[in-house]
Amino acid sequence: MLNPDTKVLDTVIRGLARNERKFGERYCPCRLRSRDVKKDRAIICPCIYHRDEIAKDGHCHCQFYYRKDEAETVTEENE
């Protein structure tokens, strides 16, 4: 699920949109492009790392995608 914190969510979405305008793909705004098209496919959102990060940390590196139980914690903290 997406991050329930709309400020963080908006920031990541703006970064994805900027990368799409600038580079033609929605590259993860939290990762550096190598400028190698084949390698950079791995960081097109959702990147290949997001599932492992969500399983391990409860959210992906960008904090765009969350595990449901972790998102509920974020929601409770913001209330």
Both tokens assigned to 45: 């959102």
The answer as to whether 1 is a domain residue is no
Q: Which CATH number goes with the domain that contains 28?
A: 3.90.460.10
Query: What is d(CA 64, CA 16) in angstroms, rounded to the nearest whole number?
Result: 11
The answer as to whether 69 is a domain residue is yes
Query: What is d(CA 56, CA 23) in angstroms, rounded to the nearest whole number?
Result: 30
The answer as to whether 64 is a domain residue is yes
pLDDT in tens, 13-72: 999 999 999 999 999 999 999 999 999 999 999 999 999 999 999 999 999 999 988 877
The answer as to whether 59 is a domain residue is yes
Alpha-carbon torsion angle 69, 10, 16, 73, nearest 10: -10
- CA 68, 70, 30, 47 dihedral sign is negative
| The Cα angle at residue 46 between residues 64 and 39, in degrees rounded to 5 | 130
* pTM of the predicted protein model: 0.83
Which residues, in sequence order, are bridge partners of residue 2?
Answer: 65
In the chain, the number of structural domains is 1
